[in-house]
Amino acid sequence: METSKAIYKRRSVRKYTNEKVSEEELHKLIASGMMAPSAGNRQPWHFITVTDPKLLSQVAQVNPNAGMASRAPAGILVCGDTELEMHPGYWVQDCSAAVQNILLAAHDTGLGAVWTGIWPKTDRVEGFKELFGLPETVHPLAFLVIGRPDKDSTEQDSPDRFLKERIRGEHW
Which parts of this chain interact with a second copy (CB under 8 A)? 1-8, 10, 12, 23, 27, 30-32, 34-37, 39, 43, 45-52, 55, 87, 89-90, 92-93, 96-97, 99-101, 103-105, 107-108, 115, 117, 119-121, 132-135, 138, 141-142, 158, 160-163, 166-172
For residues 167 and 122, what is the distance between their CA atoms, to the nearest angstrom? 33
Closer residue to a second copy in complex, CB, 16/119? 119
CB 54 to a second copy: min, Å: 10
Closer residue to a second copy in complex, CB, 61/135? 135
For residues 1 and 158, what is the distance between their CA atoms, to the nearest angstrom? 16
Residues in CB range of 90: below 8 A, 6 or more apart: 38, 39, 40, 44
Q: Which of 85, 7, 1 is nearest to 42 (CA)?
A: 85
CB 16 to a second copy: min, Å: 17
For residues 63 and 56, what is the distance between their CA atoms, to the nearest angstrom? 11
